[in-house]
Structures are given as C-alpha cells and as structure tokens.
Structure 1
Amino acid sequence: MAMMQILIRMSIQGSIIVGIVLILRMVFRGLRISYRYCVLLWGIVFFYLIFPWKIENEHGFWRAQPESMVVAVSADGPTVVTGLGTGIVPGQNATPEQNATTGQSTLSEQATGTDAMTVQSTNSEAGSNELPVTAAQSNGTAAAFFASATFLRVIFAVECLWLAGIPCFLAYFIFSYVRMKRRLAECLPGEEGVRYVDGIRTPMVFGILRPQIYLPVEMNPEFYDCVLQHERMHLRRLDYLWKILAYLISIVHWVNPVVWLAYYLLCCDMEKACDEAVTEQLEPEGRQEYATALLYMAVDTTARRIFAAPVCFDEGDIKGRIRHILKGRKTAGKLAALAVELCVVVALILLTQKGAVTEQEPEAGNAAGETADSVTAESDAEEEKDLPTFYIRRAEDLQVSSPLRIEEQYITDRATAWNHYYIDADGVLWGSGYNQNGQLGNGSYETDLDLGKMDAVRIADHVVSVDANLNNNFCIYLTDDGKLYGMGLNMAGLLLGKDSVKQVYSDDDNDRVCTPVLLMENVRYARAGREAIVALQEDGSVYWWGQMRTTTSTYGSDYDAYWTVEENPDNPVKMMYLEPHKVLENCVYVDISAWNGAAITENGDLYMWGLNIFGQCGVVKSENVHDFVWAPEKVLENVSMVWLEAIRQNDDGIDTELENLSWAVHSYTFDNFALLQDGTLLAAGENLGKDSVTTVVDGDLNQAGSHRASFGFVPVRAVVYSTEYNREILAEFTWGMSREDVRSLCTYAGLQFFLGGEDDGINIEDSRYRCYFDETGGLSALTIQTGSSRDERFTVDKTTLEEVQQIVTDAGGTLTLLTPAGDNPWEIWQYADTAQGTLYWFTVFQGKVTVITEKQLTAATFDGQQE
C-alpha cells in the first residue's frame, strides 16, 4: 500500500526530527530561552507528521523520492518488485535481455499499486521467476531479504495492526470526551466563562467550540486569581485546540513511541510557556504565590498518563513548573529574536525537500563524453595538487554558513601557550594555567611560575565568546548583553582600565589588570591580537586599538620608533592607536592578528590593514604603501570568511599541554586567508606568488634576506593535518637535494620549517623532522620523531625492537647495536638497506623506537663514521 509506505516513512523521518528538536530544546534551555519557542519547535514536528507534501528547496533536509526508483530482486519462490513511493508492483514475464534496455522506466509505467498478496498470487499463476534487470540487483542478499515474500507478509501484518489501532484510539478519545462532558454537566455557574464542579481535583479547560473553565468547588479562594489567569491564558493561546490536534496526529502514528514522547513534552512545554506568560510581569512575591497555588493543586492529584485522551486541558508536571517559575527570568530580546529566527530556519529546512534525483541508464553515445569528463576531473585534481598547501586542524573550520551568522563564529574554547579558556553550556567562562599577568581575572597575579599552573578558575557568567593573546598576556570576553571585558597585562593602556598608564611594552612597567574591566558596550563580536583588539559593534562599526609592530622590516633598525608610544602614521615600524579608533562601517565580521586586521562588509567586501611587508594585506606595494597599510583597503569581493595567520576557530579537543600546543595549532606568521562565496580558498603573504622582498631584522628571531611574497591573493588549498600526509611529502625528498629545493617543497606542501644558517639543517614542523646537509649542500640525512619512516615499515612510538629485528631479518639484512644502553636508557641500532640506498639508525627507549634517522648510504655512513 503506497499510503502506508508514505506513512511509515513520515513516522521514521518524524522520529529523526524529534531527535533534532530535542537537541535544540536542550540548547534553548541552556540559553534560558522561553518555553514558548520550544512549543514552536514541537509545532514543526507535528506539522511534518501530518502533512505528506513538501515544497522543494535546495537547502531542504530530505531528498524527494523519484517515482521510478525501484528495487528488483530475483529469489527462489514468488517474484517481487518493491519501490519507495510507487507501491509494490508485479514482476514482468520478460527476459533480462529485453528489460535491460528499457530500464526502470518500464517498471514505473506498468506499476499498478497492487499489494504484496496480489503480487504473490500473480507470479505464482504465471509460473515465472524472471525479473527485469536493473542496477538495483547489485544490492545482493540484503535487498533480497527486504523484498522477500516472508518480509512483506510481516510488513503487511504490521500495517494491518497499525491501521486497526487508529480507530481504536479515536473511539477512546470520543468516549472520554462524552464521559467528561456528562460529568461536568452538573456544575454551578460562576463569573463569565467559569464553572464550579464538585468531584474534580484540578482546574481545567474543557470544550472545543465553546470552551469553559472548570474549577473545583473545594478550591482555596486565595488561589482563584492565579488559577484564573493561568486558565484564561490557555484560552487566549488556544492551547486546548493545539493539544487535541497534536493528540489526533499522535493517534495516526500510535505505534511510534517517539511520537508519544513528543506529545508528552509538547504538553509540558505548553504548561510552562503558559506559566511564563502569566508570571513574567510578576514580582518575586507574586511568583512565589503562583508557585504555592500550583503546589496546592498538586496535592492528591492522580499521576498523568501519556496515552490519556486530552478531552480537557488540566495541569501537569507540577514539580518542574514550580522549579521553572521560581528560577525563571524573561528572555533577552536578542535571544528571543535568535530563537524565532532559528525556528523559522529549522522549519524551512526540515519541512522542505530537495528535488528528486532520477537515475537513468547511460546512453552508448555518452561514453566519449564520460571519458572526457573523467580526464578533465583528473586534470583538475592534478592542478589542485600543485597549489600551495596549508594545514588546518579539522575540515569543519572551513565550513561557513551563508549568509554569515556571527553567533556561529563565537569562540567558546581558546588555548594559548600557557592558558586555556572555555565557556560551558551555562555560559560560564573558565580559565586555567599560569597567571603571571592576572589574565585569569581572579584579582591577583603570580610571577613565580615554579608555583605551577592554576586549576579552572570561574571568571564570569553569561559569556558568549572569548579570545586571548597567544603570548599569554591578556584575555578578552564578550557577554550576552554586548559588553566587552578584558584582563591581564595592560600593554600601553590596551585594556583601558581606570588607573591604566600608557607606557612602553614591558612586563615590569605595565600595569596588570587582575579583575575584568569593561572595555566597550554594544559589541557584537571582538577578537584579540598579539598587542591589539578589534571590536565589531551592533551597528556594524569597526574599532581597533593597541599596536601592530614587527622587528622585520625593509627599513632597518629604528629603536626609537619601535619603542615610542604615540599615534604616528609616519612611524615605519609600527601602527598604534591609544584609544578605540573607528575604521569601518556596515560590517558583519572582524578579525585581528599580531600583524593585521580584517573586516567583511555586509555586501561581502574584504578590507585589510596592518603589516604588508610580504603582501599579506593583499595590497599592491606602491610608493604610498610600504611596510604598513594604515587605513583599511578593499582587497576582495564576494568573501564569506577571512582568517589571519591560521585557519582556526575553536580549540575544543586540542591538547592544551604546553609542549604540545604548537604541534596542534598551525600558524603561518605572515600569511592571511580568505574564502570566497563560491568556495575558492585564497591566501596572500610570504612564500606565495613571484614577488621578491629583501628584509633586514632586529634581534635573532627572524631570518633576514630575500623572501617570496604575493602582493595579492592567490588560490591555495587546505589539508587536514596528518602524519601520513607529512610522510608522503618526506618521501619526495631525494638524497643530494639542495636546501632551497627542500625549502620550496615544504613551502608548497604547507609544512612549516625554520631555516638556520648556511651550515645548519632545517627543522620541519616544530622539530618533528630535521634535514641535514653535507659539505656540498646536498641532503644527506633525515630525522623522524613522529609518524613512520618514508617507506612505512617503521613507526615512531609503535614499532618495538623485536619488530624491527623481524623486519630486517625478513629483508635479509642485519641489525647492529651501535650504542648500548648502559647508564643511558637509550640504545642506537643500525640497519643498512642496500636495496634502497638508505642507512637507518633507530633510537630505542624501553623497547620501542622513539627516533628514526635515515641517512644516505655511502661507504662512510656504512662504516658508521659520519656524525
């Protein structure tokens, strides 16, 4: 029966929607959003359960079922052909060869909607077990079972039971309604719309066309006002009708317990929403009196039953309602708007469907076209592989909604080298780690790091987003009422405290703000840079303050300019604003890093400012644009998201231990990224493009010399970090490769590296790997401290010494002990693989390989003479 198939599908998919609504309901309660919006969510569920037709929408949650989608299965015994949305159709007495050409369209054209028993009878009389051949035959045994006669008999029995239960529940509803109407007939009239009845224990609303309020005669008069307000609110909101309608829909799906759970929760949420509507204007004393009235009605009240017919609207879940009333508060305007918007979006997604995808047999003439498409796809894949690559921690970090929703960009988990901040489900901000600058906001600081890290400190409530300076100096957070707070090192008055002193950047000279201080109000979003803050206000205005500076420049040393504390647009080595400085309007998103600021406008334009020494602003270098872009400049259109230095959002799931943090967060110091609305990923900055920049440096942290740069955004690709990908790149290293070739390969592959002097090696990925070069400048050795060897035979921290010995023996080689453990717990073993031309050194600790060193196999290395 096609109708029953639709009903079953609606019930199953409706259960999925119930699960989604339960999650959203938990979110709403976590945000303390009114129950009235939970009732709206349940409305989506029951509308879906009763309305089989869906509007097509490209963003719909469901996929429409094509009418020609059938499954053909051949089995010993009666032949059956089943289809979703087409009913069950009889098999055809045709050979496979005849039906292979006509395909699925033949089946749909001849569908008759006959039920399973008719199909069985028809095929038995025909005496044929041959079936039309379709692609669905590849489903195999599983498909055969679900299309077998035995399975269909079971389904038919279930359908009969299902259909038989509906009139039974309906009859029970009518019986209960008539019985209650007779019971309430003997009542005493009261004020308009109110009746008094002897023998009922709780107030109720009864009736459909002319509902009345019925109160117990023995009710305490002091509670009449509270009770009448509540019951009249039910009447005003038509709750008695919605409850009956939901019950009738539940009857249709009576075999599904998930639907009855939804009905029960709908009734509970209706009561609490009604309580909210009555008490939201009451003072605490009034709410206390209202709760007392509920408690009185709970005395001697019989337990509620989920299957009870809703012929009247009485009270339920008294305990939960009292608790909610006493804790309740009015939903903030922003949260209310967000809840309404979310309900609308959820309805548009869950109550619509994508268009059907009809599979058709490919025509012979399409073979050449398919081959061409395949070649094009392979060519595109190779072209994408040649793009500069950057690491990301997880693929979700690249997913951005369209249009952009700032709430989805809130940071709820942020890790720095020495601190970890996170917001729990109740909106409480917690911080842990060191507190040398008062950045945990607990009213004190401790410069003696030997005392250890602090456990979780409760910093603030009602927090929606948090960000922190990666150098552990300060933290900022945003509350749900749009207030931005900060605490920590008050660098040059960055935190704008009452007693802040605008001094130079120095741990000794700067004040420490140890208690959160209000920085700005009416803030929609904010981010923290190394020494600066950017804030997006509710009206779309963008402000930033603090400083952006670098020891690497094209000008040379200028210590006076570097340390000065003044707003000077001619300063060659820094940008600085001592107070919040407005730079843009009509924006929807902002970001800031150590060197740059960025903002996206309402129409998708990307503006950048800050350091542009390697073109990371995407601004072409000219006579008027040198190392810094002071005023924001438009660099791209149709942008959906921007990331500065790293494609990174929340740090949840990250290992926050100090020694591992840099391994988990891939930051590209002088590169910035933009995602276009069509999904194209772009980047600008160092090691991109064909431009060349010569820099000089102050100090010893940055490499002076010539750098490749792109004064504009270029296409790149992102790869989720994995040691397997690292191994694939290392496998491309060849013995004798020059430093420049190794550096170029790492750059395009997205591997971070530190290049030392001419005689030094190259540290890759925070010293996970290290390349050594011989006197001619060619690659001669590679040390691996994570992942596997380039041939995948040996794995760090997994392969045992016994396994190494077995692998070497199987390869016909010899494993030699070079350095016994003795007083040193580490052993060094050597294996010369002449077939690969590689000499392996294994550092073994407690029976496991901890370091793998691969060397070019020469006469010198074989004798173990090379360092």
Structure 2
Amino acid sequence: MTGMAMMQILIRMSIQGSIIVGIVWILRMVFRGLRISYRYCVLLWGIAFFYLIFPWKIENEHGFWWAQPESMVEAVSTDGPTVVTGLGTGIVLGQSAVPEQNVTPGQSTLPEQVNGTDATTVQGTNFEAGSNELPVTAAQSNGTAVMPFLSAAFTQVIFAVRYLWLAGIPCFLAYFIFSYIRMKRRLAECLPGEEGVRYVDGIRTPMVFGILRPQIYLPVEMKPEFYDCVLQHERIHLHRRDYLWKILAYLISIVHWMNPVVWLAYYLLCCDIEKACDEAVTEHLEPEDRQEYAAVLLSMATDTTARRIFAAPVCFDEGDIRGRIRHILKCRKTAGKLAALAVELCIIAALVLLTQKSAVSSQKTSEDFTEMVTTEETGQVQEQNLPTIYIQQEEELQAPSPFRIENYYITERVTAYNHYYIDNDGILWGNGYNENGQLGTGSYETDFDKGQFDDVRIADHVVSVDADWNNNFCIYLTEDGNLYGLGLNMAGLLLGKDTVKQVYSDMDNDRVCTPTLLMKNVRYARAGREAIIVLKEDGAVYWWGQLRTTSSTTVGGYDEYWSVTENPLNLVKMMYLEPHKVLDHCIYVDINAWNGAAITEDGELYLWGLNIFGQCGVSKSENVHDFVREPKKVLDKVSMVWLGGIRHSDDARTFDADISAIRYGYNNFALLEDGTLLGAGENLGKDSVTTVMEGDLDEAGSHRCSFSFVPVKAVVYSLEYNREVLSRMQWGMRRDEVRTLCTDAGLQCDVASEDASLYIENSKYYCYFDENGGLDRIQIQAGSSRDGRFLVGKTMLEELQQNIADADGTLTLVKSVEEASWERWQYEDTQEQIRYYFTVYEGIVTVIEEEQMINEEATK
C-alpha cells in the first residue's frame, strides 16, 4: 500500500474515530450517572480503539457510516485531498455528506486543449508520483461535505503536517521500545517473592510489567499492612490481561498521535481500567476496609497522572489516585438489571458505530441518481431528472441488431485543423493543414500560411478513417483489411524505428508523410490522442501508444511523464511501443486520450486506462493516478460503448462549430441491449473532484463524478435548450445553486474561484453575483434572451427598436464608440423588473445582458 493510500485511511479513521470517542464519552457519562461499573466503560473504550485501528466495518443497509470506495481520499478537514506533482498541479477528491438526489451531469469543466496545452488538469486527481502527495481535506466517499477551494499556501502547510504525522509515528514507537528496555533493566535487580511477585528497590508504586511472562513488582519499602490489598489489585490486572490492553491502546494512540482526542481517550481508558480493578477488590469490603484501601492509594500518590500515562506505557502503575479514592468510597456493586442494560448498550453501540451502509445500498443508482417512474398502463420506464448529456444527432444512439462492424466504419472525421472524408468510390480525401505530413503529400509544411491545402487524394479502396483531434496523425482501413497511418510518428506510434526523448516535441519526432502499413488482417481500428487500437479479423484486440494522465503541459520537467519506455510501474502513464494484445473474442473497440474499451462476443464491456473521475466505472485504487492497468469487465449485455462523447462519424457541413459541446473528455458511455444508456465519470454522481492548477495554467474547478455506471439521458445539443435552462435561473440564487442548476441540466460550468462569476458553455453565458453572493446579472453571447424575444447575432438594431416600442418601452443609447462600430443600448422592462443592455456591432445585437432591477422605493 502506498503512503498516499495509508494517509487516506489514517486521516479518515482518525476523524471518524474522534466522533466515536465523543459518543463513547457521552455514554460513559450516562453509565456513571446510573452508577454502572467502570468495567462496562472499559468495554465502551474498546469499541473506540477497535475502530481506530481496524479500517473495515460491518456492512449493513442501515449502517452508521456511508460506504467508502476502495481508495478513500485524504481527510484533514472537509474537502478532499490536493495532490501536487512534479507538474505543479493538484486535484482534490471527496464526496457529499448526503446522497444527492436527481444528480445530473454537465460538460467537462476544463477544455481538452487550449493553445496546444491541455487545460484539463496539469495533473490528474488522486495523483501519486511517489512524492509530492498533498492531502488537503476530509472529503470522503459518501462521507463528508465538500468545502471551498484551499489556497496554495494552506495546501503546503497541510503537506508538511502530513509528513510530520508520518514522522511522529516511528518516534513514538521508538519511545515505547526505549521505555520498555529501560524499565526492564531497572527491574532486573529484584528479589523473588511468592509465585509471580518480585520486590524491587527504587520504585514507588506497585506495577505489572511484561508481555509474554508478566510479573507483579512491589516496592521493597512497601508497608506490610498494605501487602494483601495491593497484591489482590495487581492479580486482577493479570487475570484481566489489562497490561496487554494498555499496551495495545498506547500503540493505537501513537498511530493517531496528532489527534488530541485519541490521547484523551487513552487517558480515560487507563483511568477506567484502574477504577474497574478497584471495584473488583472493594465490592465485598466493608466501609472501614474501603477506607483502609483508600489510605493505601493515598500513600502511593507521589506523582501526577499525566506524567505516568506517558512515562510508563509498558507497565501498569497506579494512576489517577484522587479519582480512584473518591470512587472507592462511593462505589457500590452494579445491580443485575443495570449490568444487563450496560451490556445491551455496549452491544448496540458496537453494532451502530462499527457498521456502514453496504456498497449496494449506498450506490443504488436507480434511487440516488434518478427518479424513474413505471407506468401501470405501459410498464415502461419514464425518464425524470436523469443526468443529461449532449449528442450531435439522435442517430448516434442507434445500435442496429444484429451487430455488424461495418455500421461503425467512420466515413468522415473533423479535427481541429483537418477534415477527412471517404467518397462513394472509396477514395479518402483530406484538407486543411499539413504541418505533420498528415495529408500524405510526401512532405510537410510548418508554416500555417503556406501549409493549408484543399482536398488532397490520400488513398483508394478505404472503408474507415480516424484521426486524433490535435492533427498529429491519421489512420485508415482499406477493403483488404490493411491498416495504414501517416503524420507525426510520436514515440514510434506509427511503428517507426527511431526512438525519441520526448513525446510531444515535433523536432524530435519523425513525420510519416506518405501512408505506411501498420497492420494486416484488421477488422476495425480507432485513433486516440496518442494511441491506436486495433480489432483483428480473429477477434483479438491490440493497442499501442500512450494512455496518459490529464496533462501534456511543458512545465515541470516530470521525467516519468516524458519517458518513452514501457514501464508498468510508471505512475503517470500507460505505454506500449509495439502492438500489445489485451483481449480475444471481441467485436468492437474504441480508444481516446485516456481510455481503451472493447466489447466481447458475449456483450461484456471491458475498460482500461485513466480512472481519475471514475470513467472506467471502477472504484478507486490505492494508486493516486488511478490507472486501470489491465482490461476490467464493468458491464454485461452491452451493445455499444463511447469514450469521451457519443459520436462516430462527423458531418463537416452540418456539424456545430462548438465541437466541445458534445465532447466529454472524462466520461464514458455504454448502451445496454435493452436500450438503457449509462455513463460513468465526471458530473454524473455523488463523488466530488476539485482540480487546482498551477504552472503555465491557473484555473480551479470542482467536479462531481461517479465511479460506477449510472443511467443518463441524451439530448441533441441546441441553443434553445440552453435558453430554457437559463430561464430557470432566479435573481438572488446563490452561486452553488446556479452551478448545480447548470450542471444538472448538462451545461458546462467553469469557475476560477469560489467568489468569481460563472462561465457557462465555454463562455457563451456569464453569471455575475452581488456582494451578498446572489445572482444579479446574466450575460448572453449566443442564442437569445431568456424570454426568447431578442436574438444574438440575428436581431438588427432597427428591429430591436421596433420590438421595444411595440412593448411601450424605450431603448436608450448609453455608450457609443464610432471608430469601433459598436454601441451599448439600455432597455428597462418594468413589468418583468429586468434591465437589458444590448451590445450592437455594425447594427447587429452581439451581446445581451439581463440585470435585476432593484425597487428603489423598497430599498429606501
């Protein structure tokens, strides 16, 4: 287990253990109010210390704690761990305290590429580079609430505290060993007495010492009249194995040494053990004999309890003398009914505090994520408030039966700067830039002004084509089952012979400017960002290249990230330089920047690759980068899978220019044979992930995510749908309410910090908030005003004036910049209490702002 995972478990146990200690302390007070024996208080403390060292709990549908995923996150307060890596980035992971209802997704809050650099996360969530792991807060799966982002300075403090915690454990353990050895040497020179008793010169109180063969050690100068009661007391310690329980409790306490609540519990446990032993000695004594026993204790009161608790963790001395004397003089034997009540309360406390909700009950997607109503008339499931995702067209969701791979051949692919398509004669054409030789012209041109091409004939007899979004390379499949590639030969991705030092440096990579044969007998193939996956005619699946973390930034100089070697221990990537076989008997495959997928002949879905946001549908592992290294079966009866968005071919003539609207970099989707659409990953569930970026990027964002597949619904992307969502916003809504409204409806929602405005759908819309945090202004740069009356990019100034005049309103010019050909107009809709501002450029409305009108009389 890694240090990161250990800290995740340790912090969660310490925080939740403190809660249990508080509950036990309250029950202890109840026991004392009922005059119940201290022996039952000791049982209560056993529950607390058992939890502090035992991370697993009994699963029960009505358990006290929410179920944790396989890899909990580090918990120090209430947010999630921030892990800083060599790339200068952090990710925070946590979950909400209460199961969210009607949780729905939005877009990835970070675009896949910004000026050639991934703006997703400069490093992924739950990272571990062997060092630089930075826990920030206590957001646990289904356990605690997510709080605002933490500053970089504070995370550095937490970083230091974590290592201080880990360093303190061996120090306390060394002190324990030192104390044991020192005490053993001190007691070595003793005089034998009766069986199991030794007399020692130089000790002031009786004690039990030893682990395997414990002995009773009495002071030589102890008065003879004290001998019988003292010896009886120590023999009870031996009989009850109290010496072992104290040592065990001390070892548990040093694991949680930074938690003062645990030390308080240890102190109270030691006191209660002593008082329980006193009760056993004095319960049959007369009052006069009890006073004599108390006098014995008083004579030994030569040191303070606090010093004894820490000075002698390996033996039993007689601590808390004053409290013990008071208890001896007042105690009485616990009645049978009270004893039975105490036992029952201890059992109930253990069952409650040491149980958690079962993973099944705490992750019921049909109950926690959706409201699905079955009608009696049709028996069909109706969708209500399911997570929403965008698709390009409804046909994308069709999965013809029986399955034929030819239905999924890609005949058109649009990338950032290229357009590939196959005509009716099977000829592959390409146009756009050719900086990497990806058009197969035999050369390349890095000057964009010179390197743009119209349609170039690349190959004949082609049935399917694919290309990475960043224009680096293209692959295509011919009728005879041959797979070809061309473009940038990143780390030998196109199976070149040369090796390079960096993956992304154009200067260090060969360019394949004419098609090169990659593999024969291929049935289907897909291109990821830096990887290729192939389905052979015999059903075997091969992939090679790189599945990465969420960064391709050039800052940091992170050796493991830039390494071009096949290293299964590399925590920040998965890489194969040659085709690597992973599965047999498959019918379909897919790959993107982070994940690979395959569907078998039996309808089983296998996923592998990055799992930061749970996009593989697999619970978190102890690896903070969280790669699923080998294909893992996640679903049955699957008819289709999509990675990073639901689409196959692109139509350049009708495709919306805002391609990011249907791209879900951190989500994967699956269609079941019964027509149910499922999704896993970002913005789909109850988990929470927060990205914190530094280096050449400076952005933060929090994300919901799901580590299992949950039902979702798909809608065709449109500005009209966005307008309908915006129309549901109410003035005065809090920032988190607006954000939840948007992400629940499937809209991408970005925020730089917790007190900043919200940027929705790649800055198509902005929401601004007043000093009290309430929504007071909305800016619209696409579509229409929320009531649909005014259109961005379509409404002319004259038309705008006429529409407002027809509504008995007045359009007022508030600013004009003639040299820039733009004006700013204002209209106050007193009926709706909305003030509109229109930015007009060259006579056309380009921006609409809606602002709440404040009733001045009410304000006065």
Q: Which bracket does the TM-score occupy, shorter chain normalised?
A: 0.5 to 0.7
Distance 1:735 1:773 in 2: 9
Show the counterpart of 1:851: 847
TM-superposed CA distance for 1:624, in Å, is: 6.6
Alignment of 1:166-185 (within 5 A): none
Residue 750 (1) aligns with residue 746 (2): yes
Distance 2:549 2:773 in 1: 31
Show the counterpart of 1:725: 721
Show the counterpart of 1:770: 766
Show the counterpart of 1:784: 780
Residue 572 (1) aligns with residue 568 (2): no
The answer on whether the counterparts of 1:596 and 1:611 sit within 8 Å (CA) in structure 2 is: yes
Distance 1:755 1:811 in 2: 36
Show the counterpart of 1:826: 822
Residue 447 (1) aligns with residue 446 (2): yes
Show the counterpart of 1:47: none
TM-superposed CA distance for 1:694, in Å, is: 5.1
Task: Render the CA deviation track for 1:123-180: whole Å, top value 9, x for unaligned.
Answer: xxxxxxxxxxxxxxxxxxxxxxxxxxxxxxxxxxxxxxxxxxxxxxxxxxxxxxxxxx
TM-superposed CA distance for 1:661, in Å, is: 3.4
Distance 2:470 2:654 in 1: 17
The answer on whether the counterparts of 1:684 and 1:712 sit within 8 Å (CA) in structure 2 is: yes
Residues 1:650 and 1:849: Cα distance change in structure 2 (over 3 Å) = same
For structure 2, the 5+ residue unaligned runs are 1-372
Secondary structure at the counterpart of residue 823 of structure 1: helix
The answer on whether the counterparts of 1:493 and 1:502 sit within 8 Å (CA) in structure 2 is: no
Residue 422 (1) aligns with residue 418 (2): no
Alignment of 1:185-224 (within 5 A): none
Distance 2:471 2:557 in 1: 27
Distance 1:701 1:605 in 2: 40
Residue 532 (1) aligns with residue 528 (2): no
Residues 1:550 and 1:698: Cα distance change in structure 2 (over 3 Å) = farther
Residue 543 (1) aligns with residue 542 (2): yes
Secondary structure at the counterpart of residue 831 of structure 1: strand
Residues 1:663 and 1:769: Cα distance change in structure 2 (over 3 Å) = farther
Instruction: Quote the sequence identity (%).
Output: 66
Residue 688 (1) aligns with residue 684 (2): yes
TM-superposed CA distance for 1:379, in Å, is: 11
Show the counterpart of 2:709: 713
The answer on whether the counterparts of 1:607 and 1:633 sit within 8 Å (CA) in structure 2 is: yes
Secondary structure at the counterpart of residue 615 of structure 2: coil
Distance 1:373 1:676 in 2: 19
CA RMSD in angstroms, aligned pairs only: 2.8
Residues 1:774 and 1:378: Cα distance change in structure 2 (over 3 Å) = farther
Task: Render the CA deviation track for 1:686-737: whole Å, top value 9, x for unaligned.
Answer: 1111123455546455855653221110000000111111111011112222
Worse overlay, 390-399 or 707-716 = 707-716
Show the counterpart of 2:412: 413
Distance 1:799 1:696 in 2: 40
Residues 1:376 and 1:856: Cα distance change in structure 2 (over 3 Å) = farther
Secondary structure at the counterpart of residue 714 of structure 2: strand
Task: Render the CA deviation track for 1:455-512: whole Å, top value 9, x for unaligned.
Answer: 0000000000000000111111111111111111111111112556575331221111
Show the counterpart of 1:490: 489
Task: Render the CA deviation track for 1:394-449: whole Å, top value 9, x for unaligned.
Answer: 00011111222100100000000100000000100000001111111111111111
Distance 1:854 1:815 in 2: 14
Higher share in helix: 1
The answer on whether the counterparts of 2:530 and 2:547 sit within 8 Å (CA) in structure 1 is: yes
Secondary structure at the counterpart of residue 657 of structure 2: helix
Residues 1:715 and 1:672: Cα distance change in structure 2 (over 3 Å) = same
Secondary structure at the counterpart of residue 729 of structure 1: helix
TM-superposed CA distance for 1:754, in Å, is: 2.6
The answer on whether the counterparts of 1:557 and 1:697 sit within 8 Å (CA) in structure 2 is: no
Residues 1:475 and 1:618: Cα distance change in structure 2 (over 3 Å) = same
Distance 2:525 2:694 in 1: 31
Residues 1:461 and 1:552: Cα distance change in structure 2 (over 3 Å) = closer
Residue 678 (1) aligns with residue 674 (2): yes
Residue identity opposite 1:834 in structure 2: T
Distance 2:451 2:822 in 1: 30
The answer on whether the counterparts of 2:492 and 2:498 sit within 8 Å (CA) in structure 1 is: no
Distance 1:379 1:542 in 2: 37
Secondary structure at the counterpart of residue 495 of structure 2: coil
Show the counterpart of 1:73: none
TM-superposed CA distance for 1:632, in Å, is: 0.4
TM-superposed CA distance for 1:662, in Å, is: 3.1
The answer on whether the counterparts of 1:675 and 1:682 sit within 8 Å (CA) in structure 2 is: yes
Distance 1:809 1:375 in 2: 52
TM-superposed CA distance for 1:375, in Å, is: 8.4
Distance 1:665 1:410 in 2: 23
Using CA pairs under 8 Å that are at least 6 residues apart, name the structure with larger relative contact order, 1 or 2. Answer: 2
Show the counterpart of 1:158: none
**Scaled by the length of structure 2, what TM-score is found?**
0.54
Worse overlay, 506-515 or 586-595 = 506-515
Residue identity opposite 2:469 in structure 1: L
Residue 648 (1) aligns with residue 644 (2): no
Show the counterpart of 2:626: 627
Alignment of 1:35-184 (within 5 A): none
Show the counterpart of 1:58: none
The answer on whether the counterparts of 1:783 and 1:851 sit within 8 Å (CA) in structure 2 is: yes
Residue identity opposite 1:480 in structure 2: E
Distance 2:657 2:845 in 1: 23
Task: Render the CA deviation track for 1:362-397: whole Å, top value 9, x for unaligned.
Answer: xxxxxxxxxx9978789964xx23111000010001
Task: Render the CA deviation track for 1:788-841: whole Å, top value 9, x for unaligned.
Answer: 111111112222222222222232221100112422211111001122121111
Secondary structure at the counterpart of residue 449 of structure 1: coil
Residues 1:844 and 1:377: Cα distance change in structure 2 (over 3 Å) = farther
TM-superposed CA distance for 1:574, in Å, is: 0.9
Show the counterpart of 2:506: 507
The answer on whether the counterparts of 1:603 and 1:638 sit within 8 Å (CA) in structure 2 is: yes
Distance 2:701 2:722 in 1: 27
For structure 1, the 5+ residue unaligned runs are 1-371
Distance 2:444 2:461 in 1: 24
Residues 1:471 and 1:578: Cα distance change in structure 2 (over 3 Å) = same
Distance 2:579 2:839 in 1: 55
Show the counterpart of 2:662: 666
Task: Render the CA deviation track for 1:267-305: whole Å, top value 9, x for unaligned.
Answer: xxxxxxxxxxxxxxxxxxxxxxxxxxxxxxxxxxxxxxx
TM-superposed CA distance for 1:679, in Å, is: 0.4
Residues 1:798 and 1:834: Cα distance change in structure 2 (over 3 Å) = same
Show the counterpart of 2:457: 458
Residues 1:821 and 1:558: Cα distance change in structure 2 (over 3 Å) = closer
The answer on whether the counterparts of 1:663 and 1:766 sit within 8 Å (CA) in structure 2 is: no
Distance 1:482 1:851 in 2: 52
Show the counterpart of 2:835: 839
Show the counterpart of 1:395: 394
Worse overlay, 662-671 or 588-597 = 662-671
Report how many aligned residue pairs link the two structures.
Answer: 485
Distance 2:510 2:422 in 1: 27
Distance 2:581 2:770 in 1: 55
Residue identity opposite 2:809 in structure 1: G
**Scaled by the length of structure 1, what TM-score is found?**
0.53
Secondary structure at the counterpart of residue 450 of structure 1: coil
Alignment of 1:589-600 (within 5 A): 589-600=588-599
Show the counterpart of 1:288: none
Task: Render the CA deviation track for 1:321-342: whole Å, top value 9, x for unaligned.
Answer: xxxxxxxxxxxxxxxxxxxxxx
